[in-house]
Amino acid sequence: MSLEPSQQLDSRMKAGEPIIEVRDLTKTFEAKLGITASLRRGKVLIKAVDGISFKVARGEIFGLAGESGCGKTTAGRTLLRLTEPDSGSILYKGTDITKISRSETRRLRPKLQMVFQDPYESINSRMTVLDIISEGLIINKKILHNPSQEQIEVQVKEALNLVQLIPPEQFLHRFPHELSGGQRQRVAIARALVLQPDFIVADEPVSMLDVSIRAEVLNVVIALRDKLGLSFLFITHDLALAKHVTDKLGIMYLGKIVETAESDELIDKPYHPYTQALIAAIPVPDPDGRKVKVFAGGEVPSATNIPSGCRFHTRCPYAKELCSTTEPEFRMIESGHYVACHYYEEAYAKYKSRIRNPLGL
């Protein structure tokens, strides 16, 4: 095995072309209720992902951001068919992977990998680093029949080098409890890399880590994108982090994507009131710095009882009657910038006026 820059990708794929395309993806769960509640309410459905669409180009990090419970993780898991979708299409290099057979899905698994949020739960504490990383090679038959220990170690060392666990010989025979949180997460990334994937879903890969070591893991992700041409779906709730790591960014609210654009563009020109509220919540280390006060009143509605019309209207400071009755179209308002809001121009004008006023009054 040689983890070379992405010659493994289909020769017809060019930079900028989507390696993953999601169309109207939907996933619904049945809420678990007690016996009394079940008799009284009947079947209650949770719309975790409700008709989302986006594309991830080769060599691109696409961010998916929003509050906890908005459906980000379910979207990532459903995209890889770790959770089966209810409807919609997931195209990998133009092939709809929701329609392929179980055997074809198994052959495809190595190319579509996931790095989970918690490195303390996602790797087996009773296995050594060597066993953790090589397990996927053996299960997916990526090495010769009855390989020698030396052959296995060579491939594992390559993966450890890529995630900057150097020298790799010092990590091969360690157990997870002998590693720091950042080292554990890099082992989890190496476990995905050893299978030579084209696309990785990274589900909040640094949220469980100390702030001091987050940069190390993020630099690994960026280096893998640059060196190997890998594509990522980067799931996060931290917009400040997303701006620096991702190329494009989508904002999710109650199962819907409400705004998407180039990351810098979206942070600098947020049209949707929900995006504005998320940006306003980013801590500013300078006590004399610019303060932008954007209100998103009330609590997030239950996913079992989603509001009619625009699902953000119950918290939106600009909501009008139309918002409560008609769901806004997700449309392009500038080149590459999409938003689902009836009154995005008014919302952005008021947002800009608050930026010019340092007190946000």
- Whether pLDDT at 50 is above 70: yes
- Whether pLDDT at 354 is above 90: no
- Whether pLDDT at 236 is above 90: yes
- Whether pLDDT at 290 is above 60: no
% the chain with pLDDT above 70: 87
* Per-residue pLDDT band at 17 (split at 50, 70, 90): confident
Q: What is the mean pLDDT of the chain?
A: 87
Count CA atoms within 13 Å of residue 30 on its CB side.
Answer: 7
- Whether pLDDT at 12 is above 60: no
- Whether pLDDT at 32 is above 50: yes
**What would the two tokens of residue 318 be?**
């600009």
Q: Which of 95-109, 157-171, 278-292, 300-314 has the lowest mean pLDDT?
A: 278-292
| More confidently predicted of 286 and 69 | 69
- The topology (CATH level 3) of 18-268 is Rossmann fold (3.40.50)
For residue 145, the model assigns a pLDDT of 60
pTM of the model: 0.88
Angstrom distance (rounded) from CA 120 to CA 5: 30
- Whether pLDDT at 252 is above 50: yes
- Whether pLDDT at 189 is above 60: yes
CB neighbourhood size of 264 (10 A): 14
Reference 3, options 118, 116, 142; nearest CA is 142
For residue 315, the model assigns a pLDDT of 92
Domain range list for the chain? 18-268, 270-361
- Whether pLDDT at 210 is above 90: no
- Whether pLDDT at 284 is above 90: no
For residue 295, the model assigns a pLDDT of 65
* Per-residue pLDDT band at 62 (split at 50, 70, 90): very high
| More confidently predicted of 25 and 288 | 25
For residue 163, the model assigns a pLDDT of 93
For residue 14, the model assigns a pLDDT of 56
For residue 283, the model assigns a pLDDT of 75
Angstrom distance (rounded) from CA 217 to CA 262: 22
pLDDT in tens, 340-351: 999 999 999 988
Residues 6+ apart with CB under 8 A from 325: 308, 309
For residue 6, the model assigns a pLDDT of 45
For residue 358, the model assigns a pLDDT of 40
Q: What is the 3-state secondary structure (H, E, C) of the chain?
A: CCCCCCCCCCCCCCCCCEEEEEEEEEEEEECCCCHHHHHHHCCCEEEEEEEEEEEEECCCEEEEECCCCCCHHHHHHHHCCCCCCCEEEEEECCEECCCCCHHHHHHHHHHEEEECCCCCCCCCCCCCHHHHHHHHHHHCCCCCCCCCHHHHHHHHHHHHHHCCCCCHHHCCCCCHHHCCHHHHHHHHHHHHHCCCCCEEEEECCCCCCCHHHHHHHHHHHHHHHHHHCCEEEEEECCHHHHHHHCCEEEEEECCEEEEEEEHHHHHHCCCCHHHHHHHHCCCCCCCCCCCCCCCCCCCCCCCCCCCCCCCCCCCCCCCCHHHHHCCCCCEEEECCEEECCCCHHHHHHHHHHHHHCCCCC
**What would the two tokens of residue 283 be?**
């801590």
% the chain with pLDDT above 90: 62
